[in-house]
Each structure stands twice: as structure tokens, then as C-alpha cells.
Amino acid sequence: MKIITDEKEITPKIIEEILHNTKSLEQVEVKEIKINRTFPTITSNICLIEVKYSKESPKMAPKRFFLKMSKKGFFQETGREKFFFIIL
């Protein structure tokens, strides 16, 4: 999966691909996304996202997301943060 580093890269298709990696959400169809807020930290940007699905999608599909994107030049393949999210 591609690493997202810019909010312009967040599309319904990308969110759908992420959800399809979860066995119970393989049938979800994302119709629309709305980025409600984006705010920066020193090493990343945080996006709060709302998602709308097709009527056929599972009702258990999450409607809100918290997406943390590494700023260009700050992403590292190793380190404490990556370890934290793998364990989480």
C-alpha cells in the first residue's frame, strides 16, 4: 500500500482500499469523503475525515477517520512510531 503524504491523495478509492484489507469490510463501497479538518504537527499532518458509503455497504463501516500522514522527509521505515502502530 502506498504511503499517503498529502491530503490531495485521500480519495474514496484509497479509503475503500484501506477498508478492503479488513475482512469484515471487504464489500464496502465508499461514495464520498469529506476532510473536516487538517492540522500540522512537527513531523506529520493529521486529517479528520468523514466517509459516506453506498446503501449496500455494511452498517458497521466506520464513518469517521483519523489519518496521520508523515511530512515529506520525515517518514522512516524504522522507529518507535512505526512500532507503535504495528503493535496497535
- Surface-to-core class of residue 53, CB atoms within 10 Å of its CB (0-12 exposed, 13-18 middle, 19+ buried): buried
Residues 6+ apart with CB under 8 A from 51: 12, 15, 30, 32, 33, 34, 61, 62, 63, 64, 65
pLDDT in tens, 35-79: 999 999 888 889 999 999 999 999 999 999 999 887 776 665 545
pLDDT in tens, 9-33: 899 999 999 899 888 899 999 999 9
What does residue 2 show for φ and ψ, rounded to 5 degrees?
Answer: -70, 140
**33 with 49: CB under 8 angstroms?**
yes
**What pTM did the predictor assign?**
0.73
